[in-house]
Structure 1
Amino acid sequence: MAYQLTHEAEAFINFRDHTFPGPGSHGFRWVDVKHLRLPAEPPGDRELLAALIRHEQFRDDYAGGGVQPDGTRHGPYWLSALTPDVYEAVGHEKSAHILAEWANRPGPVPAELAAALRREVSDRLAAADQVYYLSGLGEEAFHDWGGVHGDFHEFVWVDRAAGRLTLLVAADD
């Protein structure tokens, strides 16, 4: 049975909208968060990941093109390279560490940005039952211009109590 997710909401946090103390540019760093409603009788996580990959909202190159319903790209990767098997189950602590290390490079984020990240990212991550991290694809899975992102971190959070799956992408371009 092919389960379906329903797009519910999204948030976009642009680091360019905040003034950072000290050296370093954060002009092209951002976090994109997409929330999808779980089916009434949600399946196991593997089936949820497959439903996410099939979803229209997953066809986003995250390079200005937005969601392309018939698209063949997801972030820097060919859509065909993505399966539930490329997502690694990770703990809350590891994912929070990856995101904090990325966000705070080369220095701490301003208070206003930290509050937005806490509200849209940290608080939702803490509520998740399960966290998955897209890992191990490598450059062989890049599409024709897939190297445009300096960093590309993707997480999927399953929050069964809230009936929600969240796709989070944090990237530099």
Structure 2
Amino acid sequence: MENPLTHEASAFINFRNYKFQDPRSHGHRWVDLKHLRFPPESGEARELLSALIGHEQFRDDYAGGGVLSEGSRHGPYWLRRVTPDAYEAVSRERSAHILRGWVNQLGDVPAELEADLQQEVVDRLAAADHIYYLNGLGDEAVHDWGRVHEHFHEFVLIDRSTGRITLLVTADD
């Protein structure tokens, strides 16, 4: 069966590219966004999550290897362990709280980075009809070198008005 999602674009925000007062403050953090289009007749969120998990763009270990069409890892997890049931529906407020805590864990960020985060992350959260959070899958789901990320957060944003699903990943490495 053909996947109904079409990869549209990606964005990557590397905290190292911004001037922090203390150069060690960026903490090797980054945000990765993958935007995929879905057809208007697409079903419920669970079907969209399943399509996302089955899409080639989901096969990314976020450790420098990029998207591997035959990959068996997703972030720190074995791909086979990630299912639609692993995602929890969360409010805009909760998702913003999780992200803000992660962003500011080493203090305030530069104004330029804050502006980019507003445009790429916060505005997309505000526009989403549904937000899902991949909530810790447990030790048995972590692959052989999956602990390379100290903090790994993943959100799926569904915006039916634009027909877009966005995979939003933040991590420290």
One-letter code aligned to 2:137:
L
Assess if the C-alpha contact under 8 Å between 2:60 and 2:75 holds in 1.
Answer: yes
Q: Give the corresponding residue for 1:156.
A: 156
- 1:26 is aligned to 2:26: yes
1 CA distance for matches of 2:105 and 2:20? Answer: 11
Distance 2:6 2:23 in 1: 42
Could you say if the C-alpha distance between residues 167 and 126 of structure 1 is closer, same or farther in structure 2, counting changes exceeding 3 Å? same
Q: Contact conserved, 1:2 with 1:51, CA < 8 A, in 2?
A: no
Deviation >4 Å, runs of 4+: none
Q: Which residue does the alignment assign to 1:99?
A: 99
Distance 1:102 1:93 in 2: 14
Corresponding pairs, count: 173
Taking structure 1 as the reference length, the TM-score comes to: 0.96
- The residue that corresponds to 2:126 in the other structure is 126
Question: Counterpart of 2:43?
Answer: 43
Is the counterpart of residue 137 in structure 1 residue 118 in structure 2? Answer: no
TM-score, normalization by structure 2: 0.96
Secondary structure at 1:136 match in 2: coil
What is the rounded CA distance, in whole Å, between the counterparts of 2:165 and 2:132 in structure 1? Answer: 11
Indicate the SS of the match to 1:25: helix
Deviation larger for 81-90 or 15-24: 15-24
Residues 104-123 of structure 1: pairs in structure 2 closer than 5 A: 104-123=104-123
CA contact (8 A) 1:134 1:153 kept: yes
Structure 2: gaps (5+ residues): none
Deviation for aligned residue 1:21: 2.2
Matched residue type, 1:35: H
Percent of matched pairs sharing the same residue = 68
Q: CA RMSD in A?
A: 1.3
Residue matched to 2:56: 56
What is the CA-CA distance between 1:2 and the residue it aligns to? Answer: 6.5
**CA apart distance, 1:22:** 4.0
How far apart in 1 are the matches of 2:17 and 2:136?
Answer: 31
| Structure 1 residue runs without a partner (length 5+) | none
